[in-house]
Structure 1
Amino acid sequence: MRNLRRVRLAAASVVAAGVLIGVPVLVARHGDGGSPARAAAVPLAAPDATSGRGSLEAVIAAAQARLRTRPDDADTLAALGTAYVEQARSTGDPAYYPRAEEALTRALAHAPQGSAAYAPALVGMAALANARHDFGAARGFADRAAQAAPYNAAVYGTLGDALTQLGAAHEATAAIQRMLDLRPSVASFTRASYDLELRGATDDARTALERALEIAATPDETAYCRRYLGELARRAGDPGGALAHFDAGLAAAPGNPALRAGRAAALAALGRRDEALTEYAAATAALPLPQFLVEYGELLDAAGRPDAARAQFDLVAASFRLLEANGASDDLARAQFEADHGDPAEALRRAQAEWGRRQAVFVADALAWALHRNGRDAEALTYAERAVAGGWHDPLPLGHLRDIKAALAASGSGGAA
C-alpha cells in the first residue's frame, strides 16, 4: 500500500507540473462537436467523479434517519445537503436543489465557525451555487471555505469550478493545482485534465485522465474516467477510440446513461445511425439532460424525422423551465439552444445577459453564434476570434468561427475563411 501511494503521488506531480507549464488557460468544457446537424450543445458539467447513484441514496437515507433523532446535527445536515446536490446532477432532477439549500442553510446555522461541519457546509453551498450557475456566489462560499479549512482538497475543487466558469483562468489553474497537491485523486486528476484541454494541451489532458483511471477505486469512478476519455477522443476526431472508451465504461457500469449517450454520438460519427438512435433513446429515457436531448433531436432530424426531433427539443425547453422553477437558470445553455432550435432573438438576449456577468471564452462563443444567427456577423467575428484565441481546440467554436468568416466573405464584408 505504501508503494502504491508513492506511485500515485509521483503521477500527481507529473500532471501537476503540466498544469503549470504556462500555456494560457481557457475555460469550461463546452458542448461536444460531431453531432449530425449544427450542434447547439449544452456544456458538460465540470468533472467531479462520484461514488454513484446507489451509494448516494444510501447516504441520503442514513442522514435522514439520523436527523429524525438529531435534527440539528450540523455534520449530518452538511452531508445530506451535499448529497442532494450530487443527486440532482446524477439524475438530472433540479427538484433536489431546494432540498439541498434547506439542509445546507440549516447546517451553517448550527455549525459555528471553526466547527467540524462549518467548512463542509460551505463547500456544499459552493457546489449548490455552481450547479445553479450562480458562479459568483459559489466563489464566495468557496473562498470562505478555504479560509476555514485551507487543507481540504474539496474546497479547491468547488473553487476551481467557479473560477473556470467565471473566466478567471489563472486563478482556476492555481485552485486545481492546490487540489492536486493536497489530494491526488480521481476528482483532482479529472479537473486537471479539464483545465489542460481547454487551454490546448490535449495530450497532457489525456495523460491526466489516464492517471485518474489508474487510481479509480470503484466501478463508477472507472466509468467516469472512461466517459471523459471518450469525450476527449470525440472532440479530437477519433470516434472509434471514443467508442472503445464508452464500451469499456459500460463494462464497468452497465446501463450508465451518460456513457450510452456518448456511445450514441460515437456511433453516429461512424455512420451507424440506427444503432445510435437506439442508444440515444435509452440514454434520454434514463437521464433526460438537455445535452443528450439536443444531440438525439439533431440525429432524428438528420434521419428525416423532424416531428420526433421537435419532440426532443420541446423537452429541452421544458427542462429549462423546470430548472428556473427550482431556483436555477442557465442563460448560456439557453442561448446556445435558442440559436439553433428556437428564437435567435431570444438567444442573443440570453447570450448578452450572460456576457454581462462573465467574460469567459465559451460565453464569447455563444454570443458570437447568437450574433451570427441574427445577421450581425461583423460583431460576431470579434467574439468568435476571442473564443479561440488562447488555443481552445473544440470543434464547435472553431466551426462557428469558420461559418462566421464564410458569411462575411459571402457578403463582401471580409473575413475570408
Structure 2
Amino acid sequence: MLSSPDVFAHRILQWVRHVPELVKNFLADQCICLQIRLVIQGEAYESCFPSWSGPARHSSFNLRGPHSSFVRQFDCHSPWYPNESVAVRFQVLLNFGLAGLLVLLGGCDRRATSDASTPPAQTLATPSTTPLDDLLAYALAPHAGDTSADREIRRLQDRVRQARDPGPWIERLGWAFVAKARASFDPGYYRLASHCADALEQRNPGSPEGQLLRGHILHQEHRFREAEPVARQLAKERGLAADFGLLGDVLMEQGRLNEAAEAYQQMMDLRPDLHAYARGAHLRWLKGDLAGALELIDMAVGAASPQSPEAAAWVTTRLGQLQLQAGNREAAEQACQAALQFQADYAPALLLRGRLLLGDQQSTEAIAALQQAVRINPLPEYQWTLAEALRAADRVDEAEAIEVALDRTGASTDPRTYSLYLATTGKFPDLAVRLAAAELDQRADVFTHDAVAWGLAAAGKNSEAWDAMQRALAEGTLEPRLFFHAAIIARKAGHAKEAEIWFERASES
C-alpha cells in the first residue's frame, strides 16, 4: 500500500505507470521539482526500503558539531507532509504538463550528455554470469515462515513468476530479502538479494535499481571499498536520497567522516526522514556531539512507524544507548521497552536490556535477556557480554560453553569485535593484531583503529599501540571504551599524564 497522504498522489502514480519510459526517466532523473520526484519514487521507496516509515516531519537539521569541518543549515520539509497545500498540488500538475511538453520537444534525457569520462555503472560492480533462469530459481525457491516478512517474500515471488515484465518485482523481492536479513539477523538472505541484483543486471545492464541493491549488499558484507564506486556512480548519475545514503554509509565506515557528512547532507536535502535523521545522529555522535546526536535520534524516533517495526526498533534502541551514555538511565530503560514493543525479539534491544539489568545488579533477569539475544543473533558482542554475565553470576561452565562458541565463529562473523575480545582476555594477542589489521584494510574508522591499538598493547607493542590510539581518538568520539583503552595504553607507553587524563574521561562517561 502506498504511503501517499491522499488519493491525489495515488492517482498521479497510477498515471505515471502508463506513460512512456522516457517520460518516467525524465521526471525521475531531471527532477523538475522535488514534489514530482517524490511522487514518482514514493512507491519505490516504500517497497525497496521496507523500513521507511512514512512522512517526515518539518524540522531543522544541522550537521554542525564541535568537530565538524563544514557548516550548513537548512529547513527540512517533505512534500509527503499530510497538510500540503492546494498550491503545491497544483504545482505538481503544472510541472507534469511542462515535463510532457519538454519530452515532445526532445532533449530530455540527460544520460545522453553525461560525462563521457565516467565509466558505466555496470563496470563498477560485476554481476554474475549465471543464466537468468538459474538466478531466478535461487530467488524463487520455496520460502517458509509465518511472519509478515515471509508472507511478503512469497507474494513477491508469485508476482515475479506471473508478471509480463518481472523487473520491478525482482527489485522489490531483492529488498524484501534485505528486510528479512535485517529482521532475522540471517546473512544468508543477502545472498538471495544478490541473486535478485544479478537478475536485474542481466535484464538491464547498468540498471541503477540493481546497482543500489548490489551496493547495499556490499555494504552489509563489509566490502566498503567495493561499494564506494557503485555509490558514487549512483549519486552522480541518478542522485536519489538513497544513493547519497549509501555513499555516506560506505565513506563513514572507511573513517572519512567529512566526506560522509557531505553525502548525508545531500540525502537530507532530498528526503528528510527516519533514515536521514538516524545517520545524522550517528555522525554527530562520532564527532563528539552527544547532545546533537540525541536531538536527531529523537527526530528519527518521532518519524518511526509500527508499520516498519524493525526500523522503529532500530532507532529506538539507538536512542536508549545514547540516553544511557548521557547518564539518563530512566530514559534509556523507557526507550528499550519501547523498542521491544515494536519488535519483541529485537536482538540489539535485548542486549541493551541485559546491560541495563546488569547495571541494576539483576543478574538472573539480565542473563535471560542476553541468552535470548544470543539465540537470535550469535555475534561476538552478544556472546562476550553473556559470557561475562555468566561468570559474574558464578555460572562458569555455562560461560565457558559460550566462549567456546565465540572462539569457533568469532573470527569469521565479526573479526573486529573478536580481536577486542582476544586482546582483553589475553588469548592469542598476535591473532588479535592480525584480525584488526586485516579489518583496517576495509574499515578504517575510529573503532577499527581502537581494535588495532588494543591488540598491539596486548602483544606488548606499546609504542605502536599509542600511535594507533591517537588515530582512534582523532575524531573526538564520546565512547567510554576508547577513553579506557587510551588510559591503559598511555600508561603502558610511559605517558603518565595522558593516562591520568584519559582515566578521568573514562570515569566521567
Q: TM-score range by the shorter chain?
A: 0.7 to 0.9
* Cα pair distance change 1:379/1:413, threshold 3 Å: farther
What secondary structure is seen at the aligned counterpart in 1 of 2:58? helix
* Cα pair distance change 1:353/1:257, threshold 3 Å: closer
2:370 to 280, 291, 294: 280
Once the two structures are TM-superposed, the CA of residue 332 in structure 1 deviates from its matched residue by 2.5
User: CA contact under 8 A between 2:65 and 2:287: conserved in structure 1?
Assistant: no
Instruction: After superposing the two structures, state which structure 1 stretch, 296-305 or 166-175, moved more.
Output: 296-305
C-alpha distance in structure 2 between counterparts of 1:318 and 1:414, whole Å: 40
Q: Which runs of 5+ in 1 are unaligned?
A: 26-52, 324-329
Aligned residue-pair number: 370
1:10 to 39, 53, 58: 58
- The answer for the alignment partner of 1:374 in structure 2 is 459
2:260 to 162, 172, 175: 172
- The answer for the alignment partner of 2:196 in structure 1 is 103
* Cα pair distance change 1:233/1:141, threshold 3 Å: same
1:24 to 43, 65, 68: 68
Once the two structures are TM-superposed, the CA of residue 147 in structure 1 deviates from its matched residue by 3.1
User: Which letter does structure 2 place at the counterpart of 1:62?
Assistant: R
1:336 to 420, 423, 436: 420
C-alpha distance after superposition, 1:350-374 (max 9, x if no partner): 1122234443221110100000111
1:186 to 251, 274, 278: 274
Q: TM-score normalised to the size of structure 1? A: 0.81
- The answer for the alignment partner of 1:129 in structure 2 is 218
Once the two structures are TM-superposed, the CA of residue 135 in structure 1 deviates from its matched residue by 0.2
* Cα pair distance change 1:209/1:400, threshold 3 Å: same
- Aligned residues with identical type, % of pairs: 26
- Structure scoring higher RCO (CA < 8 A, sep ≥ 6) equals 1
User: CA contact under 8 A between 1:355 and 1:363: conserved in structure 2?
Assistant: yes
- The answer for the alignment partner of 1:66 in structure 2 is 159
C-alpha distance in structure 1 between counterparts of 2:160 and 2:411, whole Å: 32
C-alpha distance in structure 1 between counterparts of 2:410 and 2:162, whole Å: 37
C-alpha distance in structure 1 between counterparts of 2:149 and 2:230, whole Å: 23
Whether 1:397 aligns to 2:449 is no
* Cα pair distance change 1:334/1:257, threshold 3 Å: closer
User: Which letter does structure 2 place at the counterpart of 1:224?
Assistant: W
What secondary structure is seen at the aligned counterpart in 2 of 1:216? coil
Once the two structures are TM-superposed, the CA of residue 160 in structure 1 deviates from its matched residue by 1.3
Q: TM-score normalised to the size of structure 2? A: 0.67
Once the two structures are TM-superposed, the CA of residue 395 in structure 1 deviates from its matched residue by 0.9
User: CA contact under 8 A between 1:160 and 1:176: conserved in structure 2?
Assistant: yes
User: CA contact under 8 A between 2:301 and 2:315: conserved in structure 1?
Assistant: yes
Whether 1:216 aligns to 2:316 is no
Cα-Cα RMSD: 2.7
Whose radius of gyration is greater, 1 or 2? 2
1:196 to 284, 289, 305: 284
* Cα pair distance change 1:339/1:119, threshold 3 Å: same
- The answer for the alignment partner of 2:361 in structure 1 is 271
C-alpha distance in structure 1 between counterparts of 2:293 and 2:450, whole Å: 22
User: CA contact under 8 A between 1:231 and 1:242: conserved in structure 2?
Assistant: yes
User: CA contact under 8 A between 1:163 and 1:171: conserved in structure 2?
Assistant: yes
C-alpha distance in structure 2 between counterparts of 1:97 and 1:213, whole Å: 26
1:142 to 213, 217, 231: 231
Instruction: After superposing the two structures, state which structure 1 stretch, 301-310 or 267-276, moved more.
Output: 301-310
User: CA contact under 8 A between 1:122 and 1:144: conserved in structure 2?
Assistant: no
* Cα pair distance change 1:338/1:72, threshold 3 Å: farther
- The answer for the alignment partner of 1:29 in structure 2 is none
Matches within 5 A, 1:73-112: 73-112=166-205
What secondary structure is seen at the aligned counterpart in 1 of 2:477? coil
* Cα pair distance change 1:140/1:66, threshold 3 Å: same
